[in-house]
Amino acid sequence: MNSQPECGIKRTVTSVDCHAHVMSMDRPLSPERHSAPKRNVTVEEYLAVLDRHGISHGLLTQPSFYGSDNTLLLEALATADGRLRGTAIVEPQINAEGLRQLKAAGICGVRLNWLRRPQLPDASSAAYQDLFSKLRDTGLHVELFVEGDLLAGVLPHIRRSGVQVVLDHFGCPTPADGVNGAGFRHALEAVGSGDTWVKLSAPYRLGGAGAQAYVDALLNAGGPTRLVWATDWPFVGHEDTITYAQCVEWLREWVPDDKVRTVILRDTPRELFGFQ
5: in domain: no
11: in domain: no
pTM: 0.94
184: in domain: yes
217: in domain: yes
9: in domain: no
pLDDT of residue 29: 83
29: in domain: yes
**pLDDT of 174-205, one tens digit each?**
999 999 999 999 999 999 999 999 999 999 99
CA 2 to chain centre: 25
Burial class (CB in 10 A: 0-12, 13-18, 19+), 29: middle
Q: How many domains in the chain? A: 1
Q: Residue type at 94?
A: I
46: in domain: yes
2: in domain: no
Q: Which of 263, 276, 250, 257 lies closest to 223 in space, CA to CA? A: 263
Residues in Cβ contact with 126 at an 8 Å cutoff, skipping those fewer than 6 apart: none
* CATH code for the domain of 43: 3.20.20.140
Q: Are 179 and 214 in contact (CB under 8 A)?
A: yes
**pLDDT of 86-120, one tens digit each?**
999 999 999 999 999 999 999 999 999 999 998 99
What domain range includes position 40? Answer: 16-272
Residues in Cβ contact with 256 at an 8 Å cutoff, skipping those fewer than 6 apart: none
Which one-letter DSSP state was computed for residue 163?
-
**pLDDT of 233-247, one tens digit each?**
999 888 889 999 999
